[in-house]
Structure 1
Amino acid sequence: MSDLSPYDTLGVEESASFEEIQRAKEILLTENEGNAQIKEDVEIAYDAIIMDRLKLRQEGKIKVPEQIRFPEKVVEAKKSPISFNYSGASKRSPNWLTDLIDQPSMQELSISGLIFLALILLSVFSQDSQILPLLLTFGLGTSFFFVFRKSKAFWRSVGVSFFGFVIAISLSSLLATVIANSGLSLGFSNEQFVSLLTFSLLWLSANFTR
């Protein structure tokens, strides 16, 4: 990997966004956790790209995100699991939560949003109630696709997608029951209402988890 350019080492294009570069770095570090040499090469390539971006910013050629203007502070913060607030109290960052939460790009939000919007419209306006289970299955598969696309870990993606689906359909069913018991009219069947909410929650899960 040492003979490759920094961008080739991370497997990204030179036009890649900061989010794409950072995500590629995190994926490579996770996949090569036991290989110290590869991890070192990845860190060196990442730092080289950041310094290159800072140089371009100083020349007025690009706009660099705020979080990479001072990379030495970012590195220092990553090395220490303890952070201090102004009152002097310490806090420990939960690594499992940091690994689970993702910050999607507008393109990812738009593409997945169109797919889930189509599923919502089909579930709400379809006259055949037997199609709803098929649409929900497709929604689960879509959620898995977007999570796997980011994490590149098959079983992790299966677990995240399935767990998100169970939570989504459980919350949707509970809310539908509460509304039905209150006497409010939804304008469509409970099954359609559950599908609508489930797809909305699956969209959130597919984009903001990895």
Structure 2
Amino acid sequence: MNESNYKTLGLDESSSFEEVQVARKRLIDECQDDPKQKEAIEAAYDAILMERLRMRQEGKIKVPDRIRFAEKSAESSASTPRVSLPTPQTPNWLQDWLDTPSRDDILWPSVVFLALSALAWFAANSAATALGFAVAATIYFINRKERKFWRSLGFATGGLFVGVLLGLAFINLVGQPSLELSAERINAVVGIITMILLWFVSSFLR
């Protein structure tokens, strides 16, 4: 054993557990205003307990069962049932629709819809064509996940309808004169907003 730990507590190796605990409590009370000394006392106390624990495990000494060691604390905490807090439950019907996409499930739709958005913007007269391809891509990406064509068609149609409404609402909110866009450019803006929504539908729904 390390005799310096006992000397810190004013004890020797023959001291009982009761004497170790009493000495610790007395010294801690005496050095309330000296954090460093208090820390040294706690460290010496912990070292003595751990050393005696090791000796007990080796059968060299007998330790009262009421003495608490780190291992017993771990055992008691492991045996104590953990109370888990209730977590919000997602409705079953929504769980059936939502997807946890992989990297590829996000990457490839992103590439496709980005290319179609670029086509709609730089070739404004092709916005409707690009939007048609976007709907077809949405059906493909959703259908390949679980092979449910009609659900894919429904999601794509719904995304198209909502996307166009959002695009028109954006144009009306900002104001066409302030945008200074031609009719073709306005169609391109509506198409791009719709494709952003279709990308989300393709990536996160199934």
Match of 2:114 among 113, 117, 130: 117
**Which residue, out of 98, 102, 107, partners 1:101?**
98
For structure 2, the 5+ residue unaligned runs are 1-82
Corresponding residue for residue 163 of structure 1: 158
Partner of 1:199: 195
- Matches of 1:173 and 1:85 in 2, distance apart? 47
- After superposition, where does 1:1-210 map in structure 2 within 5 Å? 86=85, 93-127=90-124, 129=125, 131-180=126-175, 183-185=178-180, 189-210=185-206
Note closer, same or farther for the CA distance 1:125–1:178 as it changes in structure 2 (3 Å cut): same
TM-score in terms of structure 2 length? 0.53
Give the Cα–Cα distance (whole angstroms) in 2 for the partners of residues 115 and 184 of structure 1: 27
Using the TM superposition, give the Cα deviation of residue 180 of structure 1 relative to its aligned residue in structure 2, in angstroms: 1.9
Moved over 6 A (4+): none
Asked if 1 retains the 8 angstrom alpha-carbon contact of 2:159 and 2:194, the reply is no
Structure 1 residues 184 and 132, CA gap change in structure 2 (3 angstroms): closer
CA contact (8 A) 2:164 2:194 kept: yes
Tell me by how many angstroms 1:195 deviates. Answer: 1.2
SS of the residue 2:110 aligns to: helix
What letter matches 2:94 in structure 1? L
Whether the 8 Å CA contact 1:144–1:158 is kept in 2: the answer is: yes
Partner SS, residue 110 of structure 1: helix
- Contact kept, 8 Å, 1:151 with 1:157, in 2: the verdict is no
**In structure 2, C-alpha distance between the alignment counterparts of 1:170 and 1:126, rounded to whole Å:** 22
How many Å separate the matches in 2 of 1:126 and 1:202?
20
Deviation per residue, 1:55-98 (Å, 9 max, x gap): xxxxxxxxxxxxxxxxxxxxxxxxxxxxx984x7x965311111
Corresponding letter in the other structure for 1:144 = I
- What number of residue pairs does the alignment pair up? 123
**Structure 1 equivalent of residue 4 of structure 2:** none
* Structure 1 position 183, deviation (Å): 2.4
**SS, match of residue 175 in structure 2:** helix
Q: State the identity %.
A: 28
Unpaired runs of 5+ in structure 1? 1-83
In 2, Cα distance between equivalents of 1:138 and 1:98 = 28
Q: How far 1:99 sits from its partner (Å)?
A: 0.8
C-alpha distance 102-186 of structure 1, shift in aligned 2 (>3 A): farther
Deviation at 1:174, TM superposition (A): 1.0
- Report the Cα distance in structure 2 between the residues aligned to 1:122 and 1:93, rounded to whole angstroms: 38
- The 3-state SS of whatever aligns with 2:171 is helix
Cα 1:152–1:173 shift into 2, 3 Å: same
In the TM superposition, what is the alpha-carbon distance from 1:106 to its structure 2 partner? 1.1
Query: Helix, strand or coil: the match of 2:96?
Result: helix
Aligned-residue offset at 1:102? 0.7
Superposition deviation, residue 185 in structure 1: 4.4
Q: Which has the larger radius of gyration?
A: 2
SS in 2 for 1:100: coil
